[in-house]
Amino acid sequence: PRHLLSIADLDADLIRTLLDTATQMQDVQRREVKKIPTLRGRTVINLFFEDSTRTRSSFEIAGKWMSADTINITGKGSSTSKGESLRDTVMTIDAMGVDALVMRHSASGAAHQVAGWVDAHVINAGDGTHEHPTQALLDAYTMEQRIGGLAGKHVVIVGDLTHSRVFRSNVLSLRMLGADVTVVAPVTLMPSGIRAWSETDGFALSNDLDPILTGDRGVDALMMLRVQKERMSGGYFPTAREYTVGYGLTRPRLQRLVADHPDVVICHPGPMNRGLEISADAADAAQSLILDQVAAGVAVRMSVLYHLLAGAEGGAA
């Protein structure tokens, strides 16, 4: 594809290609090779209308390590704060002749809409509650590095499914790679339509975490999602305390999990609410891959930029 808007635009072979290229980018990430000239003369704009630490900085680092010129623009510092529309903003940036637009926006579908307005390649860095495709790619990459190929592995995703673009992208990529996926959430944080989707894409649903963690199926990877308080205008239910008791990776739950499954790995896309969905013991446990996920973000985003800007599709911008 010309853009990376959704995992649904990819297939297992394309995901494999992106992850394999990310592996090759590790030499640069290890700083054995300081910089590669692959994207010299290319300009990448990071246009972020929502806050970010990991995604924005790793896209900037990825571009710089491939010798692209990278520029960051945030919503607050742009002319959207003077009333300029999203369409005028992105067409203005596009008119300067940029090659790629990495975009985060609070509206689901925003990146898709923008892709229809600009000549640049568009990369979705998170659109509302819809998708966060590069997060899913780096999650698959990180898990594979530790537990091997994901085909037949059991990945359990727990948390605020209603607001999670990370969950939506991950279910698609994990199923394409052949993983068995179970998603767990309180009924109040399960989006409408999820039952029909689970039947179409073949993943399991549960409202009860402990039987999944102790069940005969075992757990190869446990992905805890952030409770997105900023997207819950009327407060949230269950309460924080109830959530932690029922769905948090607390210290006792971690101890039981590791005793049953010593090789389990724990992921969280970040930023974490320590003490709410994940305890400090779990976040910092030997089984935690959370900082490996952050590191993988650079290699995976290098791979995405490479394939869009320098690969077979790269001349099209």
Smallest separation, CB 245 to ligand CP (Å): 25
Of 68-76, 172-180, 200-208, 269-277: span binding ligand CP (CB under 6 A)? 269-277
Q: Quick one: which of 6, 29, 43, 55 contacts ligand CP (CB under 6 A)?
A: 55
Q: Quick one: which of 52, 70, 129, 164 contacts ligand CP (CB under 6 A)?
A: 52
Footprint of ligand CP on 128-167 (CB under 6 A): 135
Footprint of ligand CP on 103-132 (CB under 6 A): 126
> With helix as H, strand as E and coil as C, how does the chain read?
CCCECCHHHCCHHHHHHHHHHHHHCHHHHCCCCCCCCCCCCCEEEEEECCCCCHHHHHHHHHHHHCCCEEEEEECCCCHHHHCCCHHHHHHHHHHCCCCEEEEEECCCCHHHHHHCCCCCEEEEEEECCCECHHHHHHHHHHHHHHHCCCCCCEEEEECCCCCCHHHHHHHHHHHHCCCEEEEECCHHHCCCCHHHHHHHHCCEEECCHHHHHHCCCCCCEEEECCCCHHHCCCCCCCCHHHHHHHHCECHHHHHHHHHHCCCCEEECCCCCCECCCECHHHHCCCCECHHHHHHHHHHHHHHHHHHHHCCCCHHHC
- In the bound state with ligand CP, the residue whose beta carbon lies nearer, of 56 and 153, is 56
Footprint of ligand CP on 204-263 (CB under 6 A): none
Of 38-46, 211-219, 231-239, 264-272: span binding ligand CP (CB under 6 A)? 264-272
Residue 104 in marked binding region: yes
Of 22-30, 53-61, 111-119, 273-281: span binding ligand CP (CB under 6 A)? 53-61
Smallest separation, CB 198 to ligand CP (Å): 24
Q: Quick one: which of 159, 186, 248, 269 contacts ligand CP (CB under 6 A)?
A: 269
Q: Is 274 in the site for ligand CP (CB under 6 A)?
A: no
Instruction: Please give the residue ranges that form the binding site for ligand CP (CB under 6 A).
Output: 52-55, 126, 135, 269-271
